[in-house]
Amino acid sequence: MEVTSKGTEQTKGEDLAKAFDVQYEKLKELGCPEQILDLLRKQRDGVLKKAGEMTIGEGNIPFLPVIPYPYLSPYTLMSMVRIRGKAGFNYLKPADIKNVVKVPDDPYYIFDIDTGKGTQGKSPEEVYKTSSEQGRRCLTADEVMNLCIYIDILSNHYVLACGSRYSSDGIPNVTVIGGDYPGLGWLPADFSGGGWASATCVALGNEDSVALAGGAGAASSGREGCSDCGGKL
């Protein structure tokens, strides 16, 4: 089930609770470890409260759970991404994926997710700059993989993870390999083209992110950061 916002009223109360439960059951169905499910379940009240206080953009997803590396590796996450029943495959070395935005170390939630409807054909550099100016941020590789678990986005366009880099300047992305199955790969930072888009979410302060992550751990750039990028394109 895909749950998106069609306006503020639709994101309140029972609709938000149903969205949380649908996402939780999807992970459970895919065999997510019970310990990780428990970490997400404990955030339910905080997530629903936070989403209920926000104005969600039209057509945006109110919230999504994110299970970062090393809780689940890209190999495991991509195996949960399906298209026409076929599981995804990871082509990247996990240790070479670095985040250039700050995210919590433990499983957490992101909010007001735009799957890329306004960024098709735009380069990662342009999206990174404009999203920051709008109080939003680009999704990381972990976040894009988690997004593709719940939403059949690949039928519409492929997704660039501009919040991460691969081997310093590559942009991780989730695409469809040979029109057959999902794959995690990378493209140059100056790439742009039709059929590709960059997903974004609202940029919360570090304190908000940590609190919603159950107070465990601190928000960081994750995956040891990206020293070559300096957090910028």
Q: Is residue 231 part of a domain?
A: no
Q: What is the pLDDT of residue 10?
A: 47
153 within a domain of the structure (yes/no): yes
Which of helix, strand or coil describes residue 4?
coil
Residue 230 domain flag:
no
pLDDT at residue number 85 = 92
Alpha-carbon separation of residue 178 from 39, 93, 98, 181 (angstroms): 36, 21, 27, 7
How far is the C-alpha of 159 from the C-alpha of 15, rounded, in Å?
26
131: three-class secondary structure by DSSP: helix
Q: Is residue 139 part of a domain?
A: yes
pTM (2 d.p.): 0.85
Q: How many domains does the chain have?
A: 1
Q: pLDDT 10s digit of each residue in the chain, 233 long?
A: 455 555 445 447 899 999 999 999 999 999 999 999 999 999 999 999 999 999 999 999 999 999 999 999 999 999 999 999 999 999 999 999 999 999 999 999 999 999 998 888 888 888 888 888 889 999 999 999 999 999 999 999 999 999 999 997 899 999 999 989 999 999 998 887 788 999 999 987 643 443 344 444 445 556 544 333 333 33
Note the pLDDT of residue 13: 80
In a domain, 228, yes or no: no
Predicted local distance difference test score (pLDDT) of residue 125 = 84
pLDDT at 221: 59
Q: Would 1 be classed as within a structural domain?
A: no
- Residue range(s) defining the domain that contains residue 130: 8-220
